Structure 1
Amino acid sequence: MVPKKDKNVEQVNEEKISKKEAILDEKLKAATAEVELWKNKYYMVFADMENARKQNERTLSESLKYRASGFIENLIPILDSFKLALDMKSDDETLKRFLVGFEHIYRQLLNVMDSEGVKDVTPSIGAKFDYKTMHALDTEFSDGEENLVVRVIARGYQLKDRLIRPSMVVVSKKKPAEPAPEPTPEENEETKAETDSKQFDA
């Protein structure tokens, strides 16, 4: 038989152990919750950093892809001037020799633009108007279909998949219906006579 005093000591020890276990359980729960909190914060920061890295890669890729955009925009008016000169017709032999040189320079410029990914998006005459690559400067009446390119005023260019300058075009438009012709004086007299006779008969 265990003495009563020893039972009390055992009971007190068990209570102390239970209290310590409860305290340790609370501390463990608090520590686990804090670990979860920091783990979640870590994942959020990691995800933000990963998104920022991907965004920076996209931005850099876009910058590299369209790096020549400003240069191309400045080069287009020069190409337009060369094209105007080359479209000129003349019988002067000296001028013809200059035009051969201009043609050579013009081709070189086009090759440089091609190497940078620039495409000429100028439509052919009779092509359907496309608002994505064309800008209509004017319209002309036509007997045929509406919204067809009648004339090209300026060539259009695209760098990779981005439009640098739309083609400036003139677009067809249906002729308005012609009004009924004005009656001649003789027809007016006949109509008046018919009206008078109807009134007289009534």
Structure 2
Amino acid sequence: MSYFVHESSYIDEGVTIGDGTKVWHFCHVQKGASLGEKCSLGQNVNIANNVKIGNGVKIQNNVSVYEGVELENYVFCGPSMVFTNDLTPRSKYPKGTEGYKRTLVKYGASIGANATIVCGHTIGRWAMIASGAVVTKDVPDYALMAGVPAKQIGWVCECGTVLKNEWKCQECDREYTLNDGELQEK
């Protein structure tokens, strides 16, 4: 086995786990899920049926990634952040897989502790969602989002540094351009 699973965790049949991935205490990875290489699942993480997780993804303690959510490579999910997959849930009238709304978190995006991602939206590449924010709409690449509901309050570099009134990062020297409301690396 080229990955680590703590003895207190459950891995259902039909799960794919990439090399170097670590699944820590009290996790459950359900049937049909796919975890990429070099991922880390903290304590008490649940990965639902058929969820796809890319390489290098870090999911902190107490996060459930529900069916209908996809995490691309190098996504960070902070402690106790929440994904949803049904806009109008009813216990008496379950919708099942066909009724779940798709949520896509793109390459390199970070979601802060206790943030909520309402289903049916896309979080752009390298976007950063502040702790406690509630995302209710699509998020552009490199956007810095905060509040309830989340609003864009700025832009962030790929390295995570907030860009302040200029398009060159003070930490790593990456340069960006803003075209029609979209930030792009030069």
TM-score norm. by structure 1 comes to 0.18
If each structure's helix is expressed as a fraction of its own residues, which one has the higher value?
1
**Which structure has the higher relative contact order (CA within 8 Å, separation 6+)?**
1
Rg: which structure is higher? 1
If each structure's strand is expressed as a fraction of its own residues, which one has the higher value?
2
TM-score norm. by structure 2 comes to 0.19
